Every structure is written in structure tokens, then in C-alpha cells.
Structure 1
Amino acid sequence: MSTDARPGPSNLIIDLAQVPDRGTSPDQRLLFGGYLSHPTQTAAALLLLGRVARHRFYLPPGMVAAKIASSDPVVTTSRDQLRFESFSACCGMALRYDVTADGIDSPPLRHGSTNIDLTGPTRVALAGVQGIDPLHLRISDEADEAVTFTTFDLTVSESKTALPQRWVRGFAEAQAIGAGLTPRAQVSSAEARRFWRALPRNDGGRSALFVSIGGRGLGLTGTSGPRTVPLGGPSRLRMIEPLLRYATSVTIYGPDDGASGVGSGVSLWQLDLADGRLSCALSPTPARGFSGEGGLLHQLAGQDSPASVEFLAHYLDEDHQGELLYPVELATRLSLSDGQVRGALTALAASGTVGYDAALGGYFHRQLPWTIEGAEALNPRLIAARKLVADGSVTMAAASDDVIEVRHGDSRHRVRGHGLSATCTCPWIAQYGTSRGPCKHILVADIFRGAPGLHTIAAGRTEPFDRADFHDDDEL
């Protein structure tokens, strides 16, 4: 990290000679260099992402003295926008700030990603952006100066940092869950502020509540109903309250009524901003992080079409310019079947390199130094399942393959059914059902049967959600 103080007041005259030129840098490692159209909004959003990354909403028992690694935003440049992402230290909140084409004075030079640390001097510089102060941003894939912020008073550079393994799993699970959520309501900024003021400051042991989205406005309730959205640990939403001042509306995404399985307790809150969006996804409860949800385990257990995975990975790394990915369009462009593309995207998502944009209904690519094999090694249930298969702990319990028996030490568990409908007699399924993904015995059955991977990538939309996607009384 380096700083360069610049003299002069920050709230009087903007002297553009004191900030970098707009010209394209000859440095081939430069991803983006330009001014932000809404500097105070962007500065507030980046400070929020850094604050969330350092915050822990849940501390596991017995880990008070443990130092658990956290990080700061991952920045991705694409053809026409910037994305800044972070997780809370407990991985129970996923936050993303998108700056659209109108929010920057020039398009990114090329597609790429970097992970940075927002240190004290950077936070001071961003906190000092006020009124009509300019904010210039330089993003590169250099190790020492990955991101440089220039305000009227300061120039601060931040170096690239290591990406926590939990974030890789969190990226993977968050996109799988987010793709299954649908827009449930859109409210005005005034209604959103009223609702936020009513949120509890302390959950008081009530980790799982619901938001009623009909009638006279948003409200909290303790029971699920046909017009409710889950809100685990509602006090967590207060973290993003500082950005409400910039919001024109708030869109709420949630699972369909009556949904079960992975993601059934997740909600996503999208603040619609000037030339940008802030998306906040909350895990089912503060004690559950996205990194442990297990939504991609079926796919990892039954990898198929490795050639299409490698082909798509090469395309994204070499030829892709960061535009949104829609499976149907990709299949046509790459001369692959729709199933091959969706399967390959799901496999790549497991390594954290594919994310989902709920507002646009499409997928986007991150350039991260992780492989599918590396992502698989981060899933203990899958590792245990492969070991059980290798040890010969699986037998058919009947003439057909509908029931499989798995021996685990002195225990025997039966898996009945296939894929997402499979059930097991083990304590894991008895406690969680399928809300946290399959148990290791169901994964054993997938591997033993040689089942193809279950695609978690949907076809995707080709345009943003609009008013027609909501019921008349959903816009409050």
C-alpha cells in the first residue's frame, strides 16, 4: 500500500490536473482506468464491502480466540461494467456492487479479476469523498498496485491479496442458490427506509423470520406463508442501511412459495442505485455460511463431459470479453448442446469462476486462480464419499439400483431414489433434510451409479426483470 498526499481543500474547486489523465495506459496489465460518475455513492459502497468483509455475524462456540482469515473485495472488469464483491467473515452475507456502463467515463480495457485489501489509508481516502469531489479508479492485475484510488486529496494504491478458500466455496454456492431465486416484490425507497427502521438491532435468538410482501407494506412475521420471503437473522440487513440514501427502489428476491432444499431459506435484497446496483444475499441463519450449503455437490460427484468443460474454460480465459453469459446463446456460439454448456458452466461455477446476476438473469465470469479439482478438494462430504466408494463400502440392497446400502464403520445407511429426490437413513438427513445439500451417502450412490452431474445452471433470461414480473400489489 502506498499513499501520495495532495494539497488543497476537498470541497471547493475540482482541479482535474491533480488526478490522472483519461488516456489509455500503455501498460498491458491495466484492466480499467477512469472516473466514476457517482463518486460519493461508489465510495460509500466500497467502504461497505470492506466493512462487511471484516465483520462476523456468528462466532462458532470454542473459536473466540481463533483468528479466522478474512479478505476484502474481489474486483472484476467486464466489457461495460465493474463488479465489486465480498463476503462477511462468517460467509453468511454475500455483497456485490455493480457499476454499469453509465457509471464510468470509459469502458474497461479488458476482462479480468483481482482481489485487494482495503487498508486504513484507503478507507480514509474513500471516506473523504464528498459532494462533487472526483474519484478516479485504476485497476490492474499487478501484484503491488492492483487498485489505485485517486481523490482530490490523496492517491492510494492497494496490493493484491490471497483469496480465502471459503470465498471460493461461497462464490460457488451463492450463484447456484441465486439462480433459483425469483423477484418477489419491489418497493420504493421510502417504504424500504420505513422497513429498515423497524428491523431489530439484535435478533434476540430469533434466527429465522419471514418478510410479508403483500398488503400495506413490508413487515416481519414469525411464520411462513404464501406471500412471504425468508429473512434469517434480520438484524444483518442493517449493515447495508447506509446505502439506502442512494437507492431509488429495492427489489426483493426469494424462493418460490413452498420451496424446499438448498436455498429455500435464502433472500436477496437488491438496492437499485444511480447507474449501479447493490445486491445483498443472506444465508438462512447467521450460523450458516454460504460456503457450507452443498448446492453443487451432486454436480461434483457426477462430473460428465470433461471435454466441454475444458473447452468452455479455455473460451472464457482466452476469448471472452466479460459480457453476460446465457447458456442458449453460448451453445449456439460454441456449437455445443444446451446440456453441455449448462453442465460445463455448473462445473466451472464450483471453482468460483462463474457468478450469477439476478437483475439481468445471466451469468458472468471471474478470472480466479482456482481449478475444478481444487474446488472439489474443499468439500469434505465429497472427499468422504469418494473414500467410501474406493474402500468398497457400497452394495446393492435390491435387484434394482433404486436402493443402495452404504457401510460406514459399524453403521449401515440406505439411500433410496436418485439425484435431488434421493433420501437416506443417516442422522444428517434426519436433522437437515436436503436443505444443506446431499449427505455423503447420497453422494456415494451418485458416484457408484455413475450418475451424470445434475446441472444447476438454468437457461437464464435475455433481459432484466421488469414490472410484468411482479404481481400488481407487489410494488409497494
Structure 2
Amino acid sequence: MSTVQQEHLYRYPFASRINPGLIQLAACGGNAAAEIDGPFFAGRVTYPREVATMLLSLSTIVRTHFFDARPPQMDPIVTASRSLVRWEGFSGCCGAYARLDLDENAFETERRACGTTNVDFNSEMIAHLSRVGRSDEVRLSIESDAVTLERNQAAVTEKKVRLSRRWIKGLGEVQVYQSQLELKQRFTPALLLPLIQSTARMGSGNQYLSISAGRPRLTTRATAGAIPVGGASRLSALRTLLPLAREVSLYADENSGVHAWVGETDWSRFWLVLSPTLQRGFSGEGQLLDSLVNDDWQERVDPILDLLAGDDHSPTGPAETIDPAELAVRLGCTTSEARNSLAALATNGLAGFDAGSGFYFQRQLPFAETLVNRDQPRLRAANKLLEQQAVLLLPDDSADERAAEVTSNGTTYIVRLRPDGEKCTCPWFSRYQGHRGPCKHILATRMTVEAKHHD
């Protein structure tokens, strides 16, 4: 099956330049960043070799196809806030999401504000990072139109790049999964090395992690207390990070099978978030559809953007973190409604989730398009079914259940909305059982029921 790739062209103000002691990477920044005169972050890197190793690990993940040999999108997103410099990216197959959070202790900061930009890690940049030593003097500067890394002698050349819509969709989907993660285990790095070495022998089937005699081990059987960690061979991406980490934590959601491994130091956290199986990418999951199916979030989007940008209530500037409960109080809505509105922002990658803190964070992404993009194929198809009056609500079976007949392409499907789960007789639901978001028939039925309630 072919998929339409929507891309956004980034026109860079210059080709990345080469100067003695200076790497200057072309980048594209958003309007918020453009309002700042000069860099929105500048500082000396406190741990140059360690930071270089982490950036190389992130770059390796971005360049890797774990199962789906699509062209990789080798353009990490970097966000500066009042306390973090955050680097993010997806693997070529979009089934692995990597995030490096560098806190205040990672830098001797000279200037810090908020902004987001996108840079290209080509082979020259990777080679240069490989040569960074512990005693090197390394400085980082991030502007709306450039990211500058200074180091003794340097040489790198970049050109303009295209950023695929697939990454933006992936950012939206992965934050839903991350909001459902729970801390399961903490390990010393020494315990994980044998585990990573064993993953190469496990194949690509279902895998589970259990603790035996204080040591983690992988099995192919779902024993009591075992945690599903499908596609565990992808843990090889953490191998170079283990010598740097003080501790590695495992977060997991046993319902979805998504799991995350976090290598921590005193000044950084490296997140590797993995899809439930090797063959699944985050970009096509459809988890955001549950939040977007109703239109009530639209009236709250602009007030949320004003709050995030900073106003009289936030004299220090853009919000550092976003607490849905606090946001709900500010907006006079429920916490669930606040989460739905944040999900709408996430469709354009403007909101992410940090499972470690339990809060959302914002990105000021540089996209010249409609802010809240509802370009979700299943949502479009559901709206088309409504236009065709294809949904026939059946007499109520009970107070808690609604049923409907939905006619699509000449075939009638039965949809049942129940408190314990929704069901549809269509092939999509039969294949995925709701694990990859609702089908178009369930969405259309929900929208019909909601419209009837408003009548």
C-alpha cells in the first residue's frame, strides 16, 4: 500500500559554513524564535565528550531502519527552554523515538530563552562529533536561523532539507503513548549489558522482561509479572550510552506494549521510546483520534497558545511545563478537556509529554501551515460518512450502550459503543482490535451520538 508523503520545505538563509574552530549549521526557526535578537541559547558545554557521544547515539537511531527501509529523516529537532536543551528524533522506520534532555548542569550558560529549530546531521557533522575529546573547548549557540557548535578546529557543510509530515504525526502519536507510561524498574548499567547482548538471539517475535535473582532477562513467554518489551533488539541503540549512565529506568504501558528506557546522569536524560513490536511505527497509530473526534477543543486552542507564549500571568515568558490540571483551572474546563486541547496542538508537534515529570512541554516548531491540522485520514473518512448520512443509530439497547449501522462502500457494519470498549464488524477493527485507534465507523458513530446530544 502506498502512502502520500506530505513534506514541508525548509529554505535556509545560508549553506552551513566552515570556519576554523566553528561549525555553523543552517537551520529554520519559528516566528517566536525570530522575535529574539541573536541566539536564544548560548553556553559552554560542560561535558563535551559525553554530550558528543549522546548526540552521536541519537543520530545513529535517526539513521537506522529497524524494519522498514524508508529514507531516513536525519534532522533532529532541538528546543531550548529556561532549564533544558532538548534534542529529538525518530528512527527511519518511525518505530523508535529518541530524546536527549540536557539540563542546566550540562552547560555554563551565557544566554537562555525559549525557541525551537531543526538541524541536519550529515556525515561531516557525525565525523566531527566523533573527534570531540574531554579536554576540548566546546560551545553551543542556538538561533532561529542557525545552530553553532564551536570546537578547536571544525569542518562541516549543510544544505537545505525537507522535513517529512511523518515526523510531525509521529510526535503527536508518541506523546499519547508516553502519557500512559509507568515506571516499572530501575537498573544499574552493568545489569543491562548482558540483556542487550542477548537481544540479538531473540528474533522479532513477542518478548517479555522478567526479573530473576535480581537480574533482568528476556523470554518469549508472558509469565506472571513479566513486562512486554517487543522488538527488544532495538535496545542495541543504548550500548554506547551505558558507560555514561548512572542508572537506567524502564517505563512501560502493558496495555499498549509501548516501553521506554531512560539512561540518566546528573545532568541529562536519554529517552529511547519503542513501539510495541519491531514492525510498528508511531506515525500511523491514530491515538490522537480519540481526542480530536469532538470539536469542543477548538475554542480553547487560542487561549492555550497565549498561555504558552507567556502573558501577564507568566512574566518569565513561555511556559516551561504544562500541567493539564492547572491548565484546566486557568481555562475553566475539565482536565480531560484540557488534555484534548493539548492533543490538538500535538497534531502539529507543538506539545510533547515527559513521562518522568508527568507534565507536557511545548515546542515552537517552524511550520508555515494551519496551526491545528486535522489532516487525519480516518477522521476525514468519518466526516465523509457523516456527509453521506451513512450512520443509522439503532434503538437504545441500554442507558450505557449505543449501537449503529454504518454503510461504507456498499457494505453495512455494526458499531457498538460500550463503557468497557467499542467494537465494529469492519476488517480494520478485526485486525487491530482498537489497539491502533478507532476505525472510521466508530469515529462517525461517536460524532453522530455527540451531535444528537447537542440537539
TM bin (shorter chain): 0.7 to 0.9
Could you tell me how far apart the structure 2 residues matched to 1:251 and 1:451 are?
Answer: 44
* 1:118 corresponding residue in structure 2: 121
Q: Which residue of 2 aligns with 1:224?
A: 222
Match of 1:291 in 2: 283
Question: Which residue of structure 2 lines up, in the alignment, with residue 83 of structure 1?
Answer: 86
- 1:304 and 2:304 equivalent? no
Give secondary structure in 1 for the equivalent of 2:215: coil
1:54 aligned residue: 63
The whole-number CA distance in structure 2 between the counterparts of 1:131 and 1:83 is 21
Are the counterparts in 1 of residues 117 and 366 from structure 2 also a CA contact under 8 Å?
A: no
Map 1:260-271 onto structure 2 (within 5 A). 264-271=256-263
- Counterparts of 1:108-187 in structure 2, within 5 Å, are 109-142=112-145, 146-154=146-154, 156=156, 161-187=161-187
Using the alignment, how far apart are the partners of 2:353 and 2:374 within structure 1? 20
Q: In 2, Cα distance between the equivalents of 1:109 and 1:412?
A: 58
User: For 1:251, which of 245, 249, 252 is the aligned residue?
Assistant: 249
Following superposition of structure 1 onto structure 2, how do residues 394-433 of structure 1 map, counting pairs within 5 Å?
A: 394-399=391-396, 402-418=402-418, 421-433=421-433
What does 1:32-71 correspond to in 2, within 5 Å?
32-59=41-68, 68=71, 70-71=73-74
**Equivalences for 1:461-472 in 2 at 5 Å?**
none
Q: Secondary structure at the match of 2:207?
A: strand
Contact 2:209 2:219 in 1 (8 A): yes
Corresponding residue to 2:356 among 340, 354, 359: 359
- Structure 2 vs 1, CA of residues 328 and 396 (structure 1 numbering), >3 Å: closer, same or farther? closer
* 1:103-153: CA deviation from partner (whole Å, max 9, x where unpaired): 1111752211111101222212211111221221111111xxx21111122
RMSD: 2.5
User: 5+ residue gaps in structure 2?
Assistant: 1-15, 23-34, 312-316
Aligned equivalents of 1:366, 1:181: Cα separation in 2: 21
Q: Distance in 1 between matches of 2:111 and 2:419?
A: 42
Name the SS of the counterpart of 2:163 in structure 1: coil
Question: What residue is the counterpart of 2:97 in the other structure?
Answer: 94
| Superposition deviation, residue 49 in structure 1 | 1.6
> What secondary structure does 1:141 align onto?
coil
Within the candidate set 313, 321, 333, 1:324 is matched to 321
Residue 309 of structure 1 aligns with an amino acid whose one-letter code is: V
Letter in 1 for 2:365: L
Q: Distance in 2 between matches of 1:69 and 1:440?
A: 30
Q: Deviations over 1:35-72 (max 9, x none)?
A: 1111111111111222221211112xxxx7xx635132
Contact 2:47 2:134 survives alignment (8 Å): no
AA aligned opposite 2:304: L
For 1:405 and 1:86, how far apart are their aligned partners in 2? 42
Measured after TM superposition, the shift of residue 238 of structure 1 is: 0.3
- Between the two proteins, the alignment pairs up a number of residues equal to 416
> Whole-Å Cα distance in 1 between the matches of residues 270 and 108 of structure 2?
20
- Report the AA paired with residue 172 of structure 2: A
**Residues 21 and 150 of structure 2 are in contact (CA less than 8 Å); yes or no, is this contact kept in structure 1?**
no
The structure-2 alpha-carbon separation of the partners of 1:159 and 1:33, relative to structure 1 and needing over 3 Å to count, comes to farther
Equivalent residues of 1:49, 1:72 under 8 A apart: no
- C-alpha displacement of 1:159: 6.5
- Matched AA of 1:298: D
Distance 1:96 1:419, change over 3 A: farther
Residue 220 (structure 1) shift: 0.4
User: Could you tell me which of 375, 388, 392 is aligned with 2:373?
Assistant: 375
Residue 207 of structure 1: how far off its partner (Å)? 3.0
* Gap change, CA 1:316 and 1:296, over 3 Å in 2: same
**Structure-1 separation of matches of 2:371 and 2:409:** 27
> 1:203 and 1:292, CA in 2 relative to 1: closer, same or farther beyond 3 A?
farther
Cα pair 2:309 2:319 within 8 Å, conserved: no
Which residue number in structure 1 is paired with residue 271 of structure 2? 279
Q: CA deviation at 1:203?
A: 4.9
Check whether the contact 1:168–1:351 (CA below 8 A) recurs between aligned residues. yes
Give the 4+ runs in structure 1 shifted more than 6 A. Answer: none
CA contact (8 A) 2:101 2:268 kept: yes
Q: What residue identity is the alignment partner of 1:405?
A: E
Task: Indicate how the Cα distance of structure 1 residues 451 and 109 shifts in structure 2: closer, same or farther if over 3 A, else same.
Answer: farther
Q: Give aligned-pair identity as a percent.
A: 33
Structure 2 CA distance for aligned equivalents of residues 78 and 157 of structure 1 = 27
Query: What is the 5 A alignment of 1:439-450?
Result: 439-450=439-450
Helix, strand or coil at the partner of 1:220: strand
Residue 306 of structure 1 aligns to a residue whose secondary structure is helix
- In 2 relative to 1, CA 77–322 (structure 1 residues): closer, same or farther, beyond 3 Å? farther
Q: Equivalent residue of 1:343, what SS?
A: helix
Contact conserved, 1:75 with 1:115, CA < 8 A, in 2? yes
Q: Find the partner of 1:347 among 330, 344, 348.
A: 344
Task: Write out per-residue CA displacement over residues 423-470 of structure 1, whole angstroms, 9 at most, x where no aligned residue.
Answer: 111111111101111111111112222279xxxxxxxxxxxxxxxxxx
More strand by share: 2
Shift of 1:235: 1.2
Q: Secondary structure at the match of 1:208?
A: coil
